[in-house]
A and B are shown apart, each in its own frame.
Chain A
């Protein structure tokens, strides 16, 4: 760890302080770190003057950062060190045309021309549609058949392409090709006026509006030297937890619907709306858009909003408990949930799964306790009882997190005295030549933003990572040797973000 700089979540670092290692040292340090139970938070490329650079943000019990200069290629760590690198290296190849030599499965992540105007690593000129010059992975043999689904799915859901290689009903391999949702957000964020940043970040993934925008606003606060009042910070925690509860409840309802047990599907569907309405009480938008702004929150929580939220929680908590009991004690549900789509702990570690997908496998990592920001520093963490890595565990973890989040909101309401101001978006002078890394536990898991400023305080590189970036591979592995008819159930147990991944 001697070569890496230890940092804290949301702290401004002068770029000069980031250790700049020789490429071999950098790769060796990353390899050693990841092999010793370390994980990757961010690993990305950027242009600096005439050269390419790589920057890594790593975590074990602490956060670390290091950088290096790189040419047109570098030896792939996916091949030599860990699968944790595979998606990051593919992204580097796609975004900057830098080839990870020896990468075992180098294919596009989102399908777009690189930012550097360099020759395309994948041999695409982007005149043809996604997936361009790429043949999907196939399993050969007479009894094998292929099922292709998407990008347009049979429901009100985002687009993505799924290829199943099956022998009868059994899925031997699932390949997930995303990129259909790509809007070029990272590039936009370096070009647009600052006033657009929170609005864009709230749209990275609409179901994680607060999670992503909180990361953005904390980054601006670190770079502009803004302080957040205690009361405003409490409102942020309440918003983030309401977002978590709404999504978890919605997914438990959808899981119930997927196993054709309709009562909880209807009840949870309605109750999810109650929590979206509480976000609307807080900020006027059912997804928390417009709530968080640099320096605090745009809407104060007055006595009226405080009262409405508290009253609704008292009313709805017993209903949630009862419907959860109905769902989890039904034998027909248990028969479908148990041992479906399992991911063993060792594999979860190897893939670096985060959020409830990781916790359901026995990886307790939670940003709220590992690298807490806002009022989470004073709040208790959660533990999970069922961690077998199957659909049942992912559902059980959601149930436990709903109850935990309800208790966190209750604590915040108890402490909140209503003495904070509302803030509006302004133009801020950002510290020049700086780096800031922010992490928050969005409802799906670790959301992270990383901002590099140039010598005039302009944003030179804005890197975003949604937890889905790690977890889509988990879903693919869940389907191995499962029946194809269990795909909807497995998929919903993860409920990953297409647009959060595609950016």
Chain B
């Protein structure tokens, strides 16, 4: 008992005051990319060629955040001439098309459907489904339940049964072997319900695009309401998206 009390004092209170106070992530963190539209076309082309995710369109000077794994090679190779990754972790989007961007993202709070805020603003229960996720997305979603983020203080919880859920939060490129289980879970959630695609895998197949063993695009089988980019999305990216979209 004494050890419990001693450790309690040593640990103190660690819960973050986000979103009341902003959080600054370390300078190496790669968040929202900002494209230099005046960049030399040849440099943009070079970035597009080395991009392992084929996320860069050198003609339109855009990056597809639904494909990008934020590896940062395009920034390094172009010396920041084509793109610079900011530390802004606020990346959630309501439309797939908005993720193809030169760095500007629409305000998620405005995009959110009004009836969602009314229905789920005070309490949101989600069923998480990993559909071939590599466990990075899953782990950084789980982290939201640790004392620092403490997701439940916002009235948002991950629940065990789809029957108790208001929607599903999907990670992974949706393997063929998980497709039925995912659809069954979705059907088991009572309507009205939301679908959240978390991580570039669920949005576009991520690193596994082109594999015949995956579906690759969650929106092709279920209507996605909210996209959370990243590989994996930073826990703050997820937290921001959930708060803006539903609160």
Residue A76 at the chain B interface, CB threshold 8 Å: no
Contact A159 B181 (CB under 8 A): yes
Interface residue ranges of A118-149 to B (CB < 8 Å): 129-130
Contact A188 B210 (CB under 8 A): yes
Contact with B along A266-282 (1 / 0, CB 8 A): 11011011001100111
What's the Cα separation between A206 and B142 when bound, in Å? 14
Among residues of B, the one whose C-beta sits closest to the C-beta of A422 is B76
Interface residue ranges of A305-331 to B (CB < 8 Å): 305, 308, 319, 322-323, 325-326, 329-330
Whole-angstrom distance from the CB of B19 to the nearest CB of chain A?
18
Contact B6 A322 (CB under 8 A): yes
Whole-angstrom distance from the CB of A363 to the nearest CB of chain B?
25
Asked whether A289 and B69 contact (CB < 8 A) given A151-B181, A270-B14, A497-B135, the answer is yes
What's the Cα separation between A280 and B58 when bound, in Å? 29
Beyond A183-B175, A285-B231, A425-B73, 10 additional pairs, beta carbon < 8 A: A156-B138, A156-B158, A183-B211, A188-B210, A203-B206, A277-B26, A289-B136, A298-B72, A299-B28, A322-B3
Residue A157 at the chain B interface, CB threshold 8 Å: yes
Contact A158 B133 (CB under 8 A): yes
Whole-angstrom distance from the CB of A95 to the nearest CB of chain B?
13
Residue B139 at the chain A interface, CB threshold 8 Å: yes
What's the Cα separation between A200 and B214 when bound, in Å? 14
Contact B139 A207 (CB under 8 A): yes
Asked whether A188 and B211 contact (CB < 8 A) given A182-B175, A298-B76, the answer is yes
Among residues of A, the one whose C-beta sits closest to the C-beta of B182 is A152
Chain B residues closer than 8 Å to A266, beta-carbon distance: 11, 146-147
Contact with B along A173-184 (1 / 0, CB 8 A): 000000111111
Residue A196 at the chain B interface, CB threshold 8 Å: yes
What's the Cα separation between A263 and B25 when bound, in Å? 27
Asked whether A181 and B28 contact (CB < 8 A) given A112-B213, A156-B158, A269-B146, the answer is no
Which residues of A pack against B, CB within 8 Å? 110-112, 129-130, 151-152, 154-159, 179-185, 187-188, 192-193, 195-196, 198-200, 202-207, 209, 250, 263-264, 266-267, 269-270, 272-273, 276-277, 280-287, 289-290, 298-299, 305, 308, 319, 322-323, 325-326, 329-330, 422, 424-425, 497-499, 502
What's the Cα separation between A157 and B160 when bound, in Å? 11
Partner of B208, one of A179, A183, A422: A183
Chain A residues closer than 8 Å to B10, beta-carbon distance: 319, 322
Whole-angstrom distance from the CB of B187 to the nearest CB of chain A?
12
What's the Cα separation between A330 and B147 when bound, in Å? 22
What's the Cα separation between A422 and B135 when bound, in Å? 28
Chain B residues closer than 8 Å to A281, beta-carbon distance: 26, 28
Contact with A along B174-212 (1 / 0, CB 8 A): 011110111001000000000000000100001110111
Task: Please tell me which stretch of B95-103, B123-131, B217-225 contacts chain A, meaning at least 4 of its Cβ atoms lie within 8 angstroms of it.
Answer: B123-131
Partner of B11, one of A267, A308, A422, A502: A267
Contact B4 A326 (CB under 8 A): yes
What's the Cα separation between A111 and B158 when bound, in Å? 30
Contact A499 B76 (CB under 8 A): no
Contact A202 B8 (CB under 8 A): no
What's the Cα separation between A329 and B53 when bound, in Å? 49
Among residues of B, the one whose C-beta sits closest to the C-beta of A112 is B213
Chain A residues closer than 8 Å to B135, beta-carbon distance: 158, 205-207, 497-499
What's the Cα separation between A319 and B8 when bound, in Å? 11
Residue B71 at the chain A interface, CB threshold 8 Å: yes
Contact B73 A424 (CB under 8 A): yes
Asked whether A287 and B29 contact (CB < 8 A) given A154-B160, A195-B52, the answer is no
Chain A residues closer than 8 Å to B77, beta-carbon distance: 424
What's the Cα separation between A220 and B97 when bound, in Å? 37
Partner of A206, one of B25, B85, B139: B139
Chain A residues closer than 8 Å to B4, beta-carbon distance: 263, 326
Asked whether A156 and B134 contact (CB < 8 A) given A183-B213, A199-B69, the answer is no
Contact A158 B130 (CB under 8 A): yes
Among residues of A, the one whose C-beta sits closest to the C-beta of B205 is A183
What's the Cα separation between A250 and B136 when bound, in Å? 13
Among residues of A, the one whose C-beta sits closest to the C-beta of B137 is A206
Partner of B7, one of A206, A322, A424: A322
Contact A159 B131 (CB under 8 A): yes
Contact A287 B232 (CB under 8 A): yes
Contact B136 A209 (CB under 8 A): yes
Contact B142 A204 (CB under 8 A): no
Whole-angstrom distance from the CB of A78 to the nearest CB of chain B?
25
Whole-angstrom distance from the CB of B228 to the nearest CB of chain A?
14
Among residues of A, the one whose C-beta sits closest to the C-beta of B146 is A269
What's the Cα separation between A290 and B76 when bound, in Å? 12
Contact B132 A284 (CB under 8 A): no
Partner of B234, one of A185, A267, A286, A497: A286
Chain A residues closer than 8 Å to B30, beta-carbon distance: 284-285
Contact B134 A425 (CB under 8 A): no
**Please, could you name 6 A-B residue pairs with CB atoms under 8 Å apart, sorted by A?**
A156-B138, A203-B206, A263-B7, A284-B85, A290-B70, A499-B133
Residue B154 at the chain A interface, CB threshold 8 Å: no
Contact A155 B160 (CB under 8 A): yes
What's the Cα separation between A182 and B212 when bound, in Å? 11
Contact A182 B208 (CB under 8 A): no
